[in-house]
Structure formats: C-alpha cells, structure tokens
C-alpha cells in the first residue's frame, strides 16, 4: 500500500498576516505552519514573544497538500520589515459615480506672512 490516507486540503494565503492569525487560518485549512529550516527551532519559538508577520510562504496559496502537511513560513517582528520587502497590494475599490469624492482642500499661502 503506497498511497496516503490523509485527505487533500488547499493551502491558504497567509502572507501579510500576523503570525497568530496565520496559524489559526492554516489550522482551519488543515495545514501546519513550519520553520523553513528543518534543523531550526519550531516556528512558534521564532514568532514569540511579540507581534510577528508572515512575509513568505511555501508552497504558494492554492497548492494542494495532504491534511496536516507543513507550510514553511518566514516571519519578521513588527517594525523590522525592510522597505523593499514585498507586501500584499490590496485591490483598489471600484471607481463608480456612486462613490463619494473628496473635495479639494483650500490652500493657504503663508509666504506673505508678516510679523
């Protein structure tokens, strides 16, 4: 018997989420988050104490794994993400005429200010 009995599950997208939220989303999907370094400490040790965000994951979202297989994630402490780090770009809201448009703000010229 060479096949696995575990059911197949879909990997969720956890990049950009706080670690504790990503861990819960992964658990609900039926996968476990793990350190990308198999010889390193458990991912829970790397993401504690404090607020950590997931910046990379493998395999990619939408991949199909057996239930409780590992998804390797890289985490960074809140505030430690480099400026050139890829971040999740949210889609723009729909542009339709029903949306409120901000009014142009009046500008005050302070160059003619007299003391």
Domain-located, residue 29? yes
Radius of gyration of the chain (CA): 22
| pLDDT for the residue numbered 81 | 58
**Angle made by CA atoms 94, 60, 28, in degrees to the nearest 5:** 85
Domain-located, residue 71? yes
Q: Give the separation between CA 9 and CA 99, rounded to whole angstroms.
A: 39
Domain-located, residue 86? no
Domain-located, residue 59? yes
Q: What 3-state DSSP class applies to 73?
A: strand
Domain-located, residue 105? no
* Structural domain count of the chain: 1
| pLDDT for the residue numbered 8 | 96
| pLDDT for the residue numbered 3 | 77
Q: Which domain holds residue 65?
A: 8-77
Identify the H or E element spanning 64: strand 64-66
Domain-located, residue 101? no
Global pTM value: 0.66
Q: What is the full per-residue pLDDT of the chain (115 aa) written as tens digits?
A: 457 888 999 999 999 999 999 999 999 999 999 999 989 999 999 998 889 999 999 999 999 999 999 999 999 998 765 554 555 555 555 655 555 555 666 666 666 656 5
Calculate the CA 6 to chain-centre distance: 27
DSSP state of 21: H
| pLDDT for the residue numbered 1 | 47
| pLDDT for the residue numbered 48 | 87
Q: Give the separation between CA 79 and CA 16, rounded to whole angstroms.
A: 13
Domain-located, residue 108? no
CATH number of the domain bearing residue 72: 3.30.10.20
| pLDDT for the residue numbered 52 | 94
| pLDDT for the residue numbered 99 | 57
């Amino acid at each position: 018997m060479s096949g696995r009995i575990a059911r197949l599950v879909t990997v969720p997208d956890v990049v950009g989420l706080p670690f504790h939220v990503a861990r819960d989303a992964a658990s609900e999907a039926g996968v476990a988050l793990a350190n990308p370094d198999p010889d390193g400490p458990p991912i829970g040790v790397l993401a504690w104490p404090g607020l950590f965000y997931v910046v990379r994951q493998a395999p990619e979202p939408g991949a199909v794994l057996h239930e409780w297989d590992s998804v390797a994630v890289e985490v960074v402490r809140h505030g430690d993400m480099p400026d050139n780090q890829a971040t999740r770009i949210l889609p723009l809201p729909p542009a339709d005429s029903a949306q409120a448009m901000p009014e142009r703000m009046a500008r005050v010229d302070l160059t003619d200010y007299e003391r």
